[in-house]
Amino acid sequence: MNALHAWLTLVGQGFSEWLDAWVRVSRFAMTALIGMLSPATYNKATRLVVQKQIYFTAWQILPGFCVFAALFSYLIIEIVGITARKYGLYEYALELIVRILVLEILPLMTALFVALRTGAAINTEVALMKIQNELDALQRIGIDPMRLELLPRVVGGTISVLALTAVNIVAALWLTHLAIVDFHPWTLTDGDFTRMIGKVLDIPVLLVLWAKTLAFGFAVTVIPISEGLSTPQKLFHAPISVLRGMVRLFFSLMLIEAAALAMVYV
Amino acid sequence: MTNAKEKSGAKKRVVLLAGDAERRQLIEDHPEAFLVSESLPLRANLSVLENIAVVLQFRTNTYIGEANDTAWKLLTQVGQTGCAEQRDPDLTYEERFVAKLLRAIVLSPPIILIDRPAQLLPDTNYPFFLNRLLLALEGRFEQCWILDYAWNAALYTSRA
């Protein structure tokens, strides 16, 4: 009986901590959203931090990541194209490519890449700032850390995810045209290509795509920051904070992806 | 502060405290004061120059170039331009202290509290160092209070 009681207490504590963490993330997300939309947030110092964040998150990795995304896209386009042709379904290849690659894989891949690179870095940095009391130090000299250090990272990170996704989608569409219409002009023409793109990427689908990308961008910065802020002021908690932040971020990205899929297909 | 003993200069005051509780109370009683303390570190990913300039830039919405110029002038005034581009882990105790002090001084606050200088400058003859530094910065601040413990009073007798 005692063992059962202890086990139930442990499970209850775990659930309570899990719930608390999500409440913290939600609260911070709401505060960040209001802060992002408030003109009072922005001044010359905060705009500079936003620029730096965009530089480190998007501009610095742009060439390498775009080459990788283009190669990956081309591989998927060729595989889908060749397989579809083999089974006599070539007319469906283009729609399949746009639906799988442009609407699903590229936005998710970009978000995961930024989450791994920037999200982990932001989580570590905020956790260390919290542990070393840098946030209080800023507050004490009259600088609101939320405005100077945290919100610009959310804004910069979100813009970066949107920009990288847009660039990758444009590159993928161009490669699709190249692979399906230019290199292997079996049945499709320029007109077919344009019509198909217009048919698949209609207004509701585009709205869901950009809403999803926006949510990805918001999540890859908000969750690591929120996790970093809740780190206890002990150095050994830093890796635990990053670990928790990254796991929470991964599940959030998957949840956003599933919700977007449900909106389009269910 | 009933127990605090003060040794006054024109703008510099050495406040000698009986213990930690008194020190905390004094800091709490002066929320308007800018604190230079071991517990309030510099931003680790900013250089000394940026740490000083960002205060001006954020608080007064100054252009980055202008804020950097002001920060550079302050560093020149105290003869510490050599550490301008360095970040916190690469600084000596003296350089770190100067960066913290200039970060507090840049907006000319009414009071600057230097909290336990022995902790901030462990390898330095700090009464002499502080005297020289504050003299170099005369006109940049209204009042500077050095919070130290009464058992260090002897350190200030010949120099305060």
Quick: pLDDT tens for A78-111. Answer: 898 888 888 888 778 888 888 899 999 999 999 9
**Which tokens is B7 given?**
């040794």
Tell me the average pLDDT of chain A: 91
Lowest mean pLDDT among A68-72, A81-85, A130-134, A188-192: A188-192
First to last CA, chain A: 46
**What's the domain range around A225?**
42-265
User: Does A141 map to a domain?
Assistant: yes
Query: Which amino acid is it at B2?
Result: T
The fold for domain B5-157 equals: Rossmann fold (3.40.50)
Lowest mean pLDDT among A27-36, A57-66, B4-13: B4-13
Residue B110 forms contact with A (CB below 8 Å): no
User: Does A13 map to a domain?
Assistant: no
Percent of chain A with pLDDT over 90: 72
Q: Per-residue b/e over B124-144, b at no fewer than 16 CB within 10 Å? A: bebbebbbebbeebeebbeeb
Pairing of strands B34-36, B12-17: unpaired
What are the residues facing B111 on neighbouring strands?
Answer: B143
Instruction: Spell out which residues of chain B touch residue A148, defining contact as CB-CB under 8 Å.
Output: 54, 58
**How close A152 gets to chain B, by Cα (Å)?**
13
Residue B40 forms contact with A (CB below 8 Å): yes
Give phi and psi for A117, each to the nearest 5: -85, -60
pLDDT, average across residues A163-167? 96
Distance CA A150, CA A209 (A): 26
- Give the per-residue pLDDT at B67: 94
3-class secondary-structure state, position B12: strand
What are the residues facing B144 on neighbouring strands?
Answer: B12, B112
Beta-carbon contacts of A156 under 8 Å, excluding residues fewer than 6 positions away, are A49, A50, A51, A52, A53, A54, A57, A221
User: Does A33 map to a domain?
Assistant: no
Is this prediction's ipTM beyond 0.90?
no
Lowest mean pLDDT among A160-164, A183-187, A246-250, B111-115: A183-187
- Whether A233 contacts A126, CB under 8 Å: no
Instruction: Spell out which residues of chain B touch residue A125, defining contact as CB-CB under 8 Å.
Output: 45
Encode pLDDT of B51-87 as tens digits. Answer: 999 999 999 999 999 999 999 999 999 999 999 999 9
Instruction: Spell out which residues of chain B touch residue A46, defining contact as CB-CB under 8 Å.
Output: 58
pLDDT, average across residues B128-156? 89
Of residues A196, A190, A187, A183, the one with CA closest to residue A102: A196
The closest CB to that of A44, out of B45, B63, B104, belongs to B63
Distance CA A138, CA A123 (A): 18
Beta-carbon contacts of A168 under 8 Å, excluding residues fewer than 6 positions away, are A65, A66, A69, A70, A73, A106, A109, A110
**How close A244 gets to chain B, by Cα (Å)?**
23
- Residues of A in CB contact (< 8 Å) with B are 43-46, 48, 125, 128-129, 132-134, 136-138, 140-143, 147-148
- Give the per-residue pLDDT at B160: 42
Instruction: Spell out which residues of chain A touch residue B44, defining contact as CB-CB under 8 Å.
Output: 128-129, 132, 134
Which long-range contacts link B73-78 to residues 24+ away (Cβ below 8 Å)? Answer: B74/B102, B74/B105, B74/B106, B74/B137, B74/B140, B75/B48, B75/B49, B75/B102, B77/B136, B77/B137, B77/B140, B78/B102, B78/B133, B78/B136, B78/B137
3-class secondary-structure state, position B57: helix
- Whether B97 contacts B36, CB under 8 Å: yes
Q: How many domains does chain A have?
A: 1
- Give the per-residue pLDDT at A103: 92
Q: Is the pLDDT of residue A248 over 60?
A: yes
Instruction: Spell out which residues of chain B touch residue A132, defining contact as CB-CB under 8 Å.
Output: 41, 44
The closest CB to that of B61, out of A43, A133, A134, belongs to A43
**Which tokens is A117 given?**
């690179």
- Give the per-residue pLDDT at A110: 96
- Give the per-residue pLDDT at A187: 63
CA atoms within 13 A on the CB side of A263: 17
